[in-house]
Amino acid sequence: MQKENRGWLGKIKQVLICTGLALCLVAGAIPSTPCHAQQRLVKPEVVLPGFYPYGFNGYGRIDAIDMKFVVIEDSAYKLSPYVVYNTPERANASMANFRPGVLAGFVTNAQDEVISLWLIE
């Protein structure tokens, strides 16, 4: 009778170990956060006006800008045809305020196009 119990205990132990390993493999394969569903917002450590967004998809010094693209910190971003420019003094400002060398934050849409640029300094 004891031999029979040892056999069952051994099989139960083996099944539990295999189940635990399988769960670990499955848990490791599933990302803990959505990859493209939600981008992490960053916030520069400066005081921003109240109408500015809580965070940006990115920010940095503008290297170059034209009607279709902006280059920020050596990374090029496509501008949406409906991009909105904002400064601390004025929402819906002119693109003329955004020139190489200024610090700006940006918000992107699902197609990774910049939909708004925000002057930081």
pTM for the whole thing?
0.65
Q: Give the three-state DSSP class for 72.
A: strand
Q: pLDDT value at position 34?
A: 46
Q: Give the three-state DSSP class for 20.
A: helix
Residues 4-28: tens digit of each pLDDT: 666 666 777 787 777 777 776 766 6
Distance CA 76, CA 62 (A): 10
89 burial via Cβ count (<10 Å: 0-12, 13-18, 19+): exposed
CB atoms within 10 A of CB 48: 16
